[in-house]
């Protein structure tokens, strides 16, 4: 497994296992099979509702804690966010059954962002969150957060896939010392990703699946990826991407698929902000 080094010196696997949209009743088995397949980075969130199942799988797996990299995420908090954030973190930590997490992310760029971030800084200083970061921050919000706080986010987890490649955003993150991480690396199959002729053609040249081509493309760009699956054979396939390499021409060919736009939703859209705010207030 390859690793990236975060801005605080912590090493993070470049490929992990995500549990978004896996029902809680299926999560423990899925995570157990992922650990057996060799995954050591696990990515969950309070909003996913499956932290407890992830924690059970970790305990059952018997893998030394220092060999695991566990990420969870904070949902949107209102003021007083510093107090609310600590309470939310403690709830997640108890659900996971851990004494710390390796990465704690602010899940959305909404609510009392600065209060939330200062609470994350406190958790980091106390060793409860080894690294802290954000998710879904566009460059303007990310730079503003960096300029007005002491600790620079270690990670920004954003929608990144062949149809929305975030190349300029990644360059800015690199300049600022922030590691880009992909969610939705397979675009959830949209735009017929798994039957895309260009990706299939590249896969045929290497004897690999489209999924493996996409993950290899992300790895070669230095993007941390967290593919999800509930099938053990697919988990094994997804992690098997470290013994081949795309050529420069193939990387350039994949670059032509970029549309420059989200396939899901734009976090700068007022309607999206309104919807997520309501999910906070009603949740």
**Residue (of 74, 168, 139) closest to 113 by Cα position:** 74
For 124-173, give the DSSP string: HHTTSEEEEEEES--HHHHHHHHHTSSSPPSEEEEE-BTTB--HHHHHHH
| Spatial contact of 18 and 181, defined as CB atoms under 8 Å apart | no
Q: What are residue 109's phi and psi, to 5 degrees?
A: -85, 45
Q: Say what the pLDDT of residue 273 is.
A: 84
Closest CA to 254 of 245, 264, 246: 246
Q: Is 0.85 surpassed by the pTM of this model?
A: yes
Whole-number Å distance between alpha carbons of 52 and 55: 5
- The per-residue pLDDT for 283 is 39
- Give the three-class secondary structure for 104: strand
Are the C-beta atoms of 59 and 97 separated by less than 8 Å?
yes
Residue 280: predicted pLDDT = 60
Domain architecture of the chain: domains with CATH: 8-282 (3.20.20.100)
Q: Count the helix, strand and coil residues of the chain and give each as a percent rounded to the nearest 5.
A: 50, 15, 35
Contacts of residue 241, defined as CB under 8 A and 6 or more positions apart, other chains included, come to: 15, 208, 212, 215, 216, 219
**Segment 222-247, tens digit of pLDDT:** 999 999 999 999 999 999 999 999 99
Alpha-carbon span 72 to 91, nearest angstrom: 11
Which of 20, 39, 48, 114 is the catalytic position? 48
Average pLDDT of each block of 10 consecutive residues along the chain (283 residues)? 97 98 95 98 96 97 96 88 90 97 96 94 98 97 97 98 98 98 96 97 98 98 96 97 98 97 89 78 45
- CB count, 10 Å around CB of 236? 15
Element of type H or E holding 11: strand 11-13
Catalytic residue at 20?
Answer: no
């Amino acid at each position: 497994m390859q690793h990236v080094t975060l801005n605080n010196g912590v090493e993070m696997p470049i490929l992990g296992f995500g549990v978004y949209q896996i029902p809680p009743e299926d999560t423990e088995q899925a995570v157990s099979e992922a650990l057996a397949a060799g995954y050591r980075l696990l990515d969950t969130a309070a909003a996913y509702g499956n932290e407890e199942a992830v924690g059970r799988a970790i305990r059952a797996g018997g893998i030394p804690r220092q060999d695991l990299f566990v990420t969870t995420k904070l949902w949107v908090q209102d003021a007083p966010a510093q107090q609310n954030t600590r309470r939310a973190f403690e709830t997640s930590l108890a659900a996971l059954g851990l004494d710390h997490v390796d990465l704690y992310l602010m899940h959305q760029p909404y609510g009392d962002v600065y209060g939330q971030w200062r609470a994350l800084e406190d958790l980091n200083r106390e060793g409860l969150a080894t690294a802290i970061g954000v998710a879904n921050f566009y460059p303007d919000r990310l730079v503003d957060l960096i300029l007005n706080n002491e600790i620079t986010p270690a990670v920004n987890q954003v929608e990144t896939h062949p149809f929305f490649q975030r190349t300029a955003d990644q360059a800015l993150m690199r300049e600022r010392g922030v590691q880009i991480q992909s969610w939705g690396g397979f675009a959830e199959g949209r735009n017929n990703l798994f039957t895309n002729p260009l990706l299939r053609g590249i896969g045929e040249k290497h004897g690999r699946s489209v999924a493996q081509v996409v993950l290899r493309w992300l790895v070669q760009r230095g993007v941390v990826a967290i593919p999800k699956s509930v099938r053990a054979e697919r988990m094994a396939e997804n992690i098997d991407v470290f013994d081949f390499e795309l050529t420069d021409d193939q990387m350039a060919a994949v670059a032509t698929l970029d549309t420059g736009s989200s396939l899901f939703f734009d976090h700068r859209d007022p309607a999206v902000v309104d919807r997520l705010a309501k999910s906070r207030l009603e949740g």
